[in-house]
Structure 1
Amino acid sequence: MKKLILAFLVLLQSACTLAPPPQVARRPALPAPTKRTPPVAKSYPLPEPPSPPPARPYSPPPPPSPPPAAVASPPPAVIALTRQAELDRRQGNLDQAAARLERALRIQPQNAELWHSLAQIRLEQHQPRLAEELAKKSISLAGGAREILRRNWQLIAEARRISGDLPGARLAEQEAGRY
């Protein structure tokens, strides 16, 4: 029994030396939520829509101007190639003339005169279908240049006649007569 008392005393003494349990920090109490009312949207007067501008009398648009290629003069290289091509053509060297015109077209592809000249060469080389296509390309670039339009339609009429398309040739001649 002495041992039991001694054990009890040791336990009691050790219990006195134990550190107290740590204190839990307490948060301050939150205030009770207050009832908020949403803010009232302010209203502003809407601006007046602008009044439409006064009606102007209709005036037709200006006539279309010819494309720049029909107005601008060709570069010196194109002029030289065209002259050389014409000399080659007169001497019967049609392949060389066509090659020179194709080089000129690489420099100035929007030049309707160059396309027409190449179409003439192809017609002389007995390539009427190609000549007609080249003349049509020239027409698409000619703008309002009536003379080149007339010459292209005449060339198309001749190409169609050579191909045996007589009704098509008559239609092309009528078209050429419009210019």
Structure 2
Amino acid sequence: MKNKIIKVLPVFPSFPDTFWSFKHSMDIVGKKAVMTPTGLLTVMAMLPEEFEAQKLVDLNVEPLTDEHIRNTDYIFTSSMIVQEKSHNEIVERAHSLGKKVVAGGPFPTTRPDRTGADYNITGEAEVTLRPFLEADLKSNGSNLRRDWTEKNVEKGLVELTKGGKPIITHTPLTRWDL
């Protein structure tokens, strides 16, 4: 019997309208966003075959709809501290529709207590994502711990540099198709 495919919706929170968001400059040059969510799209490439990445929703470009949320099992976010408000709005909407949120990036890494996410994947995803996904598959999404850090996952799962960072030659190519 084939296992159920777990659908993952990557959602990139919006940047607030500040000088550094370059929103008005983007309008002038005819662009929709100042940067692509490369980290989030790379995480989608790290998903094992039991997980299916859905089309990216970048809130700097398009709105997140209830239909997006309803048609997925998990929402994955990657955010910086400046995106906290948008991130937390995503979490609130997902929870209101009964969906779980997995948060990664600089914001949950530095402030896991403020994400509101069901699970925080902190530090380098090459180290922490796989143990979380394997535990999720084994437990069917129940009784998982909330915070997955480089300190609380099994050592030796990935090859590290002398500085303790993952060797990125083993990181899959970014999922630009999403």
Same-fold call, TM cutoff 0.5: no
Q: TM-score, normalised by structure 1?
A: 0.28
Greater helix fraction, Structure 1 or Structure 2: 1
Greater strand fraction, Structure 1 or Structure 2: 2
Q: TM-score, normalised by structure 2?
A: 0.28
Q: Which has the higher contact order (CA 8 A, sep 6+)?
A: 2
